Amino acid sequence: MRRHLRPLLLTALAASCGMAFAASADQVPAGRLPAWAVPQSYRIAFKVDPAQTDFSGTTTIKVKLAQASDHMWLDGAELKVSKVTVTDAAGKAHDAKYVEADPKAGVVRVDFGSTLPAGEITLKFDYTAPLNAQLQGLYKVTAKGQPYAMTQMEPISARFAFPSFDEPGFKTPFDISITLPDSQVAVANTQQVSEKPAGQGWKTVTFAQTLPLPTYLVAFGVGPWDITPTAEISPDAYRSKPLPLRGIAAAGEAHRMSHVISETPSIIHALENYYGFGYPWDKLDVLAAPDFSAGAMENAGLVTFRDWLLLLDKDSPARNVRGSFNVTAHELAHQWTGDTVTLAWWNDIWLNEAFATWMQEKVTEEVHPEYRADLDRVRGAQGAMANDSLVSARSIRQPITGNGDIMTAFDGITYQKGASVIGMFENYVGDKTFQKGMHAYIEAHKFGNADADDLVNAIATAAGKGDDFKHAFKSFLDQSGVPYVQTALEQKNGQTVLTLKQSRYLPLGSRGDSQRIWGIPVCVRYGTADGSKVACEMLDKATGSVALPGASNPTWVMPNANAAGYYRFSLDKSELDALTKEVAKLSDTEQLAYADAINASFEHGDLDAGQVLAALKPLTESKTSQVATAPLGQLEWIYHHVAKTDAQRARIADWVKAAYLPRLEALGYQRKAGESDDDSLLRSTLAAALGLDYKLPEVRAELLKQGEAALQKNTDGRLNLAAANPDLLGDALGVAVQTQGKSAVDALIAELPQTSDPASRNGMLGGLASVEDPALAEQVRDFALSKPVKVGEMASLLRSGRDTQAQRDAMWSWFNGHYSQILARTGSFAGGFLPMLAGGGGCSTGEAQRLQAFFQPRINDAAGIARGLAQTTESIELCAALTAKQDPASITH
Ligand SMILES: [Zn+2]
């Protein structure tokens, strides 16, 4: 949707304009809107019948003009405005003109017809617009044949729904009313306050005025929604009234929301306790969206989710149940960081997303400690490090130079790196001190906006820290990259000391400059006579050291104690051997940090594949499933890119089989009564790896049994999907698709349009995505572009099947032939994802070159393509460089 979005200049440039450029003011603002016209409040009224293709609206905005002017600027896209009236400060109404000054960007000018003095004016717009087909603005979706209209405004899509100052810095109250067919239901951010007949089968519902919100948090929906009975979240020390809570779903589905409704109060209480600040809105609705671009959206008081996250029952996959809790905690955390205190501008989206991610982990650790959110934090950070090792990585606070920077800001750097960096500085100042800083930050900026300085200053003040601390914190916000801490043990004056040297971590083959300095809180665990101790030091120069008092001699070191730091480390050979011997005694988070250090050394070219296999082996013994399975990713890379002969591949498969098959067989292939969800998750992780990646015959036989049973038709002609263990449905169908071929593919393609249950749909999509036969793979890719596959589901059919050059070549030529259809079905969010969809998994310079040749001329087709192209190309080149360095003979285990 590039063509509707506004190109933006450098933030610094935009900020420096402000009042100054307003005077000459006839240029279309290319950056932020000028600051001399500021909205004070909105009244937005809509007439919506989801069965139609268009809707109509009336928007009334009170605006404060700081200076006399004959026009003003705001945002609007695809709106057909029939009338604009401006009422001046004296109360006199004038006809005004709506000019689409930059339709491509969605910037409009309103000409008043004469110069109005500074003061408060009121603008009123009457318009019609299409119900959007790409899941943004006010968009249309269909569930079980019935149409619905709902909204997704973030980041810059409110302009498709109503004329507005569509930037996060403009927060005002909103009055929302909706005229809709009598038989339907409307929901919005706040409680409904009235419902009146509007004649000829229509009614008008009005909602309570909101507290100040930015446009991107405005939300509403119209359709035959099914709503749960209203539950109440009890008052507490921070909120005096019970909070009404409802679940909203497509017709007939609300009964499946009882699980999420039962979990939500504990999340709200945990957040209120942490922030010392009550949930501020007048109600909380959670809505299961029939089709949705993101995972979920934190609209104030009306939080929307992909339906599979909310529609749960006893047969739901354990992955969905756990995901539901984590995502709900994330979105509800936003009600404080994001909704109550809002980022001032998009370069600080981390103030929303990193904090919601960090807080979600805190809430999960408190309410569901068995979900091991502490390990999610470490794994999330390590996932972000792979991306952050690219020269083309974003920084957490990436300057906004265009719409692509807004669209691609919702990535692992913002979320997981951001959360890890927050956790690192929380660990450094202490969690109580950090909480004190957060209280002050929320209190100072509630119902307003904030930027990074506000946050960092609040924490520094609470901790009694000065510029060094602020500088260290910001060194992780304002520059990209992962710090690499190379360590060596020394004896100095009779004391054991670990010397530290920092640089930027760059993998083998990178063209980046490794000289970069952060302020890193480094904490080291080391061996003592009676166990271990931790010593910490702020490393804010290229080199430093940390004394290890009481260290045994010889000792061992884990240079990232509790995996609390966002950095990678290396040890020399003898120290790595010493740590490998101790690894089972480390905490689970530290064992994950150890695994990452092995991977970092391998990708740096310091360890060969054989050494990696040996060093990772002890982790497979862990009782903790996330630790035991941590080696799988690296193993798979070695399997596909290092092993050249069947014998070498067999050696790796044997390693995997010895490590994991007994564990899978002990779990069995069916759920056991009362088993932990961790067991259910481990079963599905192992079954997928052993059955589909390594193709162990004994595992495939079990999965095939379930897949064949699921493909049997019931008497009504529908597939018997319930015959498979719900945790294994996708993998079981995947093995069936690989074994039976066309009959299985045809059966799944016929079944999908008849199935509304999102978990069953995901299982079927997973099965189809495992297809291997080239002709059938082509059939599945074509199916991905057809109507029965929702826009939000399309990518799940196109991502996989990239292990071999032949598979990637087939995907590549299909992508070339269908590019315009893919682009047309892709929402504005996904532009940055297109290059990865086309060339992801590539591992040769030829693949990097063809990707560049294809996308360079198309770089403006969607916002975000430039960054996606740079990152995918670099990943392919690094894979090629690492592959070239390998000696398959090192695989001797
Ligand atoms: Zn979020």
61 by Cβ neighbours in 10 Å (0-12 / 13-18 / 19+) ranks as buried
- Written as six digits, the tokens of 809 are 């070549």
Distance 877 CA to ligand 1 centre (A): 31
Residue 537: Cβ within 10 Å count: 16
CA distance 664 to 363: 31
pLDDT at 292 over 90: no
Within 10 angstroms of residue 23's Cβ, the number of other Cβ atoms is 10
> pLDDT tens digits for 454-471?
999 999 999 999 999 999
Mind listing the pLDDT tens digit for each residue in 158-168?
999 999 999 99
Q: How far apart are CA 316 and CA 767, in angstroms?
A: 17
For 332, residues 6+ apart whose C-beta sits below 8 A from its C-beta are 264, 267, 268, 271, 284, 298, 303, 363
What pairing do the DSSP bridges indicate for beta strands 174-181 and 37-47?
A: parallel
Residue 240 alpha carbon to ligand 1 centre in Å: 27
**Mean pLDDT over residues 607-616, rounded?**
96
Instruction: Report the separation in Å between the CA atom of 334 and the middle of ligand 1, taken as the mean of its atom positions.
Output: 7
Task: Report the separation in Å between the CA atom of 126 and the middle of ligand 1, taken as the mean of its atom positions.
Answer: 33
Ligand 1 centroid to residue 234 C-alpha, Å: 25
CA of 321 to the centre of ligand 1 (A): 19
Ligand 1 centroid vs 456 CA: distance in angstroms?
Answer: 20
- What is the structure's pLDDT at 829? 56
Task: Give pLDDT, residue 827.
Answer: 61
Res. 21: pLDDT tops 50: no
What is the spatial distance between Cα 388 and Cα 507, in angstroms, rounded to a whole number? 11
Residue 265 has pLDDT above 70, yes or no: yes
Q: How many Å is the Cα radius of gyration of the chain? A: 28
Cα 157 to Cα 165: distance, rounded to the nearest angstrom? 11
HEC states along 165-176?
CCCCCCCECEEE
Q: Which two tokens stand for residue 145?
A: 């044949």
133-137, 162-166, 489-493, 544-548: which range is least confident on average?
A: 133-137
C-alpha 554, offset from chain centre? 44
Distance 438 CA to ligand 1 centre (A): 18
Q: Tell me the CA–centroid distance for residue 296 and ligand 1, in Å.
A: 8
Question: What digits encode the pLDDT tens for the residues 76-130?
Answer: 999 999 999 999 989 999 999 999 998 878 999 999 999 999 999 999 999 999 9
User: How far does the centroid of ligand 1 lie from the alpha carbon of residue 349, in Å?
Assistant: 9
CA of residue 350 to ligand 1 center, whole Å = 9
> How far, in Å, from the CA of 446 to the mean position of ligand 1?
18
Token output for 856: 């360079």
Which strands form 568-570's sheet, in the order they lie side by side?
Answer: 543-547, 495-504, 483-492, 568-570
Question: What is the rounded CA–CA span in Å between residue 398 and residue 11?
Answer: 10
769 alpha carbon – ligand 1 mean position (Å):
28
Helix, strand, or coil here: 71?
Answer: strand
Cα of 331 vs centre of ligand 1, distance in Å, is 6
Residue 271 Cα to ligand 1 midpoint, Å, equals 15
Q: 344 CA to middle of ligand 1, Å?
A: 16
What residues does 78 pair with on adjacent strands?
none
Q: What share of the chain in percent tops pLDDT 70?
A: 97
Phi, psi for residue 115 in degrees, rounded to 5: -75, 125
Residues, CB-to-ion distance under 5 Å, ligand 1: 353, 356
Query: At 417, which amino acid appears?
Result: K
Q: Which two tokens stand for residue 786?
A: 């057809």
Residue 324's nearest CA partner among 282, 360, 362 is 360
- 628 pLDDT band (50/70/90 cuts)? very high
Residues 866, 628 contacting (CB under 8 angstroms)? no
Task: Provide the 8-state DSSP code for 239.
Answer: B
d(CA 118, CA 67): 4
Digit-coded pLDDT (tens) for 699-708: 999 999 999 9
Let me know the angle formed at the C-alpha of 421 by 360 and 581, rounded to the nearest 5 degrees. 95
In this structure, are residues 676 and 624 in contact, taking their beta carbons and an 8 Å threshold?
Answer: no
Report how far ligand 1's centroid is from the alpha carbon of 255 (Å).
26
- Sheet (strand 557-558) strand order: 531-539, 520-528, 557-558
Output the CA 216–ligand 1 centroid distance in Å. Answer: 13
Task: Give me ligand 1 centre to Cα 294, in Å.
Answer: 10
Tell me, in angstroms, the distance from the centre of ligand 1 to residue 419's CA: 11
Per-residue three-class SS string for 135-204: CCEEEEEEECCEEEEEEECCCCCHHHCCCECCCCCCCECEEEEEEEECCCEEEECCCEEEEEEEECCEEE
Task: Give the span between the Cα atoms of 467 and 747, in whole angstroms.
Answer: 64
Tokens of residue 99, six digits: 């000019």
- For residue 469, give both structure tokens: 């601390």
Separation of 688 CA from ligand 1 center, angstroms? 29
pLDDT for 483 equals 98
Which burial class, exposed, middle or buried, applies to 194 when counting CB atoms under 10 A from its CB (0-12, 13-18, 19+)? exposed
User: What tokens were used for 534?
Assistant: 């931790």
* Whole-number Å distance between alpha carbons of 436 and 457: 12
13 pLDDT above the threshold of 80: no
Mean pLDDT of 803-828: 91
Residue type present at position 751 = E
User: What is the rounded CA–CA span in Å between residue 851 and residue 854?
Assistant: 5
Q: How far is the CA of 323 from the centre of ligand 1 (A)?
A: 14
For the record, the structure tokens of 594 come out as: 């150890």
Q: How far is the CA of 493 from the centre of ligand 1 (A)?
A: 51
Tokens 């290092």: give the residue. Answer: 642
The helix/strand/coil state of 72 is strand
State what percent of residues in the chain have pLDDT above 90.
88
Nearest residue to 362 (alpha-carbon basis) of 400, 315, 321, 419:
419
Q: Which residues contact 192 (CB under 8 A, 6 or more apart)?
A: 186, 205, 206, 207, 208
* Beta-bridge partners for 545: 499
**Cis peptide upstream of residue 697 (ω within 30 degrees of 0):** no
- Ligand 1 center–CA 98 separation, angstroms: 34
Find the 298 Cα to ligand 1 centroid distance in Å.
Answer: 7
Residue carrying the six token digits 């941590």: 630
State the Cα–Cα distance between residues 488 and 574, nearest whole angstrom: 10
For residue 235, the CA-to-ligand 1 centroid distance in Å is: 26
Interval between CA 781 and ligand 1 midpoint (Å)? 30
Q: Given a cut of 90, is residue 291 above it in pLDDT? A: no
Rounded to the nearest angstrom, the distance between the alpha carbon of 268 and the centre of ligand 1 is 16
Residue 297 CA, ligand 1 centroid: distance in Å: 7
Residues 503/486, Cβ–Cβ less than 8 Å: yes
Q: How far apart are CA 792 and CA 713, in angstroms?
A: 28
Give residue 295 CA to ligand 1 midpoint distance, Å.
9
Measured in Å, residue 874 CA sits from the centre of ligand 1 at 27
CA of 784 to the centre of ligand 1 (A): 27
* Distance separating alpha carbons of residues 317 and 613, to the nearest angstrom: 32
- Between the CA of 814 and the centroid of ligand 1 the distance, in Å, is 34
The CA 121 to ligand 1 mean position distance, Å, reads 35
From the CA of 492, how far away is ligand 1's center (Å)? 48
CA 860 to CA 531: how far, in whole Å? 58
Q: 758 pLDDT exceeds 80?
A: yes
Query: Using one digit for the tens of pLDDT, what is the confidence trace for 480-515?
Result: 999 999 999 999 988 999 999 999 999 999 999 999
- DSSP β-ladder status, 119-130 and 80-87: antiparallel
- Write down the pLDDT at residue 863: 82
818 membership: H or E segment, kind and range? helix 805-825
Buried b (16+ CB within 10 A) or exposed e, 849-865: ebbbebbeeeeebbbbb
What is the whole-number distance in angstroms between the Cα of residue 25 and the centre of ligand 1?
36
Per-residue exposure over 453-479, b if at least 16 CB sit within 10 Å of its own CB, e if not: ebbbbbbbebbebeeebbebbbbbbeb
Q: How far is the CA of 307 from the centre of ligand 1 (A)?
A: 17
Mean pLDDT of 40-59: 98
pLDDT in tens, 668-678: 999 999 999 89
pLDDT of residue 410: 87
> Could you tell me the distance, in angstroms and rounded to a whole number, from the CA of residue 709 to the centre of ligand 1?
39
Ligand 1 centre to CA of 415 (Å) is: 8
Cα-to-centroid distance, 304 and ligand 1 (Å): 11
- What is the average per-residue pLDDT within 601-624? 96
CA 74–ligand 1 middle distance (angstroms): 26
Instruction: Check residue 720 and give its pLDDT.
Output: 97
3-state secondary structure of 853: helix
Determine the average pLDDT of the residues in 550-571: 96
Distance of CA 393 to the CA centre of its chain: 16
Taking the centre of ligand 1 as the mean of its atom positions, its distance from the CA of residue 362, in whole angstroms, is 15
Measure 332 CA to ligand 1 centroid, in angstroms.
9
In angstroms, the Cα distances linking 764 to 537, 700, 707, 751, 797 are: 51, 17, 10, 9, 10
pLDDT in tens, 834-884: 999 999 999 999 999 999 999 999 998 888 899 999 999 999 999 999 999
* 275 Cα: distance to centroid of ligand 1 (angstroms): 18
Expressed in angstroms and rounded, the spacing between residue 291 Cα and the centre of ligand 1 is: 18
Question: Residue 601: exposed, middle, or buried by beta-carbon count in 10 A (0-12, 13-18, 19+)?
Answer: buried
Ligand 1 center–CA 341 separation, angstroms: 14
Residue 20 corresponds to which tokens in the numbers above? 């100054």
CA of 358 to the centre of ligand 1 (A): 10
| Cβ atoms within 10 Å of 793's Cβ, excluding its own | 17
Taking the centre of ligand 1 as the mean of its atom positions, its distance from the CA of residue 780, in whole angstroms, is 32
Q: How many residues does the chain have?
A: 893
Average pLDDT value over all residues in the chain:
93
744 CA distance to ligand 1 centroid (A)? 38
Fill in the DSSP letter of residue 590: H
- Cα of 550 to ligand 1 centre, how many Å? 44
Least confident of 4-8, 306-310, 408-412: 4-8
| Separation of CA 260 and ligand 1 centre (Å) | 18
For the stretch 723-753, pLDDT in tens is 999 999 999 999 999 999 999 999 999 999 9
Q: How many Å lie between the centroid of ligand 1 and the Cα of residue 656?
A: 36
Q: How far is the CA of 414 from the centre of ligand 1 (A)?
A: 10
Q: How many CB atoms lie within 10 A of CB 343?
A: 22
C-alpha 333 to ligand 1 mean position (Å):
8
Q: Does the structure show a pLDDT above 60 at 3?
A: no
Q: How far is the CA of 421 from the centre of ligand 1 (A)?
A: 16
Give the distance (Å) from ligand 1 centre to CA of residue 330.
6
Ligand 1 centroid, distance to 412 Cα (angstroms): 11
